Amino acid sequence: MAGETDVTVYRDALIVLTTAAVIVPIVRRLKFSPVIAYLAAGVILGPNGVALLTPGN
């Protein structure tokens, strides 16, 4: 049907945004730059990190 939305299309983006939303406050509390948080999220969720989070691996 035309009204249904497939949420799996947005899964990777939601994982990255959620991880960044969790890491940024933690890093800010430790008095580091938020840029460090985004870099850490990128390292965690790099090509191999996202593959570990997907079912079937």
* Residue 54 forms part of a structural domain: no
* Residue 43 forms part of a structural domain: yes
* Residue 30 forms part of a structural domain: yes
* Residue 3 forms part of a structural domain: no
The alpha carbon dihedral of 13, 18, 23, 29 has a sign of: positive
The count of domains in the chain is 1
* Residue 56 forms part of a structural domain: no
Output the DSSP codes for 15-41: HHHHHHHHHHHHHHHTT--HHHHHHHH
* Residue 55 forms part of a structural domain: no
pLDDT at 1 over 60: no
pTM of the predicted structure, to 2 decimals: 0.58
pLDDT tens digits, 3-48: 677 777 788 788 778 888 888 888 889 998 888 888 877 887 777 7
* Residue 57 forms part of a structural domain: no
User: What is the rounded distance in angstroms from the CA atom of residue 26 to the CA atom of residue 50?
Assistant: 21
* Residue 26 forms part of a structural domain: yes
pLDDT at 29: 93
For residue 53, name the pLDDT band (cuts at 50, 70, 90). low
Between 53 and 48, name the one with better pLDDT. Answer: 48
